[in-house]
Amino acid sequence: MEVILAASGKGGTGKTSFTAAVGAALAESGKKVLAVDGDCGLRNLDLVLGMSDRAVFSFADVLLRGVALAGAASAHPAYTGLYLLTAPPAFPELPEGGLAPLAEQAEAEGFDYLLIDGPAGLPPELAAYAAIAHRGVVITQPDPASIRGAETVARTLEKYGLADDMLVVNRIRTRLIRFGLASNMDDAMDAAGLPLLGMVPEDEDVLACAGSGKSIIAFKKRGAARAYRNIAGRIRGEHIPLMRLR
């Protein structure tokens, strides 16, 4: 099982959309995926996945209250193999071993991937998520403030022991890049100091789907949906060329 932590230097970069869409794409390919909302107090992964009526148990219930993961994880209504564990209202005081027992249960239940939708910025709980992660994925947008935040969070994840971090540049508007009003991909990679996992074009359907609880992966084949499928393929180890954005 691979544990992937989605992080960002600031809010609003599309971290939750990334977790939901890549989780759905991995499940679509036959993988068993546990998506964990790690943004305590600001949880909305259940809304983006269209599972607000199913998200009953949080990861705190599994770690602190003896609820077995097999019963706590909610199955997605449309994607076989995709499960959700929501966040508690506040980050709990963890037992000895931190979040490791959660990861151990997930592996015992046969999950191929555990995706953590981490909090934005650098809150203390980021260290706890990083402690069980094998890889960090830093989500940014191509504006200077987002990229600066991505560089800061990338260095912090390195300090926590995550050396294989990668970058996803979200909401790319190629016209702005052509006119020099947003960073190009080389600039973003150089500034963040991370290799590129994927580029996601600006796509208004992402917001429309998030607001209605529908998966962008199920809704369409092109645009952001194609980008997220490509990212899921690279996570699985496939060699998929980057999209040519026009």
Sorted by sequence, the CB contacts under 8 Å of residue 99 that are 6+ apart come out as 59, 63, 128, 129, 131, 132
What confidence score (pLDDT) does residue 181 get? 47
Q: How confident is the model at residue 180 (pLDDT cuts 50, 70, 90)?
A: low
Asked if residue 70 has pLDDT above 50, the reply is: yes
Please give the pLDDT value at position 95.
87
Q: How many CB atoms lie within 10 A of CB 66?
A: 7
pLDDT band with cut points at 50, 70 and 90 for residue 183: low
Instruction: Of 4-18, 42-56, 188-202, give the lowest mean pLDDT range.
Output: 188-202
Whole-angstrom Cα distance, residue 22 to residue 166?
14
pLDDT at 184: 64
> Is 224 a residue whose pLDDT tops 50?
yes
The pLDDT value given to residue 166:
94
Domain ranges of the chain: 2-235
What is the per-residue pLDDT across 115-131, written as a single tens digit (0 to 9) for each?
A: 999 999 999 999 999 99
pTM (predicted TM-score): 0.91
Flag whether pLDDT at 239 surpasses 60.
yes
List Cβ neighbours of 55 (8 Å cut-off, separation of 6 or more). Answer: 37, 46, 74, 84, 86
- Average pLDDT of 136-156? 92
Superfamily of domain 2-235: P-loop containing nucleotide triphosphate hydrolases (3.40.50.300)
Residue 39 CA to residue 117 CA, distance in Å, equals 7
Question: What pLDDT, on a 0 to 100 scale, did the predictor assign at position 120?
Answer: 93
Q: Which two tokens stand for residue 240?
A: 């998929």
Q: Please determine, for residue 36, whether its predicted confidence score (pLDDT) is greater than 90.
A: yes
**Residue 137: predicted pLDDT:** 97
pLDDT at 21 over 70: yes
What does the pLDDT read at residue 178? 60
Q: Over the range 155-180, which residues count as b (16 or more CB within 10 Å of their CB) and which as e?
A: ebbbebebeebbbbbbbbebeebeee
Residue 109 per-residue DSSP state: T
Q: Is residue 122 packed enough to be buried (19+ CB in 10 Å), middle (13-18) or exposed (0-12)?
A: middle
Q: How far apart are CA 108 and CA 49, in angstroms?
A: 24
